[in-house]
Amino acid sequence: MNILLVISRAIDRLSETVGQAVKWLVLAAVLISAGNAVVRYAFNRSSNAWLEIQWYLFAAVFLLCAGYTLMRNEHVRIDVVAGRLSARAQAWIDLVGSLLFLLPMSVIIGILAWPLVADSFERGEISGDAGGLLRWPVKVLIPLGFALLALQGMSELIKRIAFLAGRIPDPAARQHAHAGEPPESERM
């Protein structure tokens, strides 16, 4: 179990590093959007490339930060029932959900995306819009993002198993503390 926890911490560091780096793409997208708007309205000029780069940056943020979001426990959840359960029951739900849904879905999407990326690269696929960009760079984000999500899913799985085995404290409580919320033990 100790080796798995070391692997989990390494995956968490990777997710944290990617999340901290990729968040700057939001600023880049905002600056490009603002610059494009100024040029369009002030000089009556525009390019589809500027619009597409904004979409590419948004895709990068969304796909590459999915694992980071999972690690921080800030992903979308339906806590109507699970929120009322004990930490152990929630850990079991996370464990089963990861094994049955998150990991298989991430691996399948990642694998199925590679032929699309390869085809786009081989054909030199370009956007159909005038002045559009190459498509393969944004398509490569799909398998890369889902690989990062699968890795983080494995890290979360390891942490839930370690928690259920009594080896570590509740990882979800620590994740709430990251988000500025008190741990579950301190909430009323």
Q: What is the arithmetic mean of pLDDT over 79-108?
A: 85
Tokens, residue 83: 């929120």
Phi then psi dihedrals of residue 182, to 5 deg: -70, 155
Q: What is the arithmetic mean of pLDDT over 55-71?
A: 94
CA distance 134 to 137: 7
Q: Where are the domains of the chain?
A: 2-180
State the DSSP code for 73: T
Q: What is the arithmetic mean of pLDDT over 94-104?
A: 92
State the DSSP code for 101: I
Q: Which of 105, 112, 164, 176 has the alpha carbon at shortest distance from 143?
A: 112
pTM: 0.82
Given a cut of 60, whether residue 134 has pLDDT beyond it is yes
Alpha-carbon distance values, 101 to 38, 41, 104, 118 (Å): 45, 47, 6, 26
Q: What is the pLDDT of residue 184?
A: 45
Q: What is the arithmetic mean of pLDDT over 70-84?
A: 74
pLDDT tens digits, one per residue of 22-57:
999 999 999 999 998 898 889 888 788 888 999 999
Q: What is the arithmetic mean of pLDDT over 136-144?
A: 95
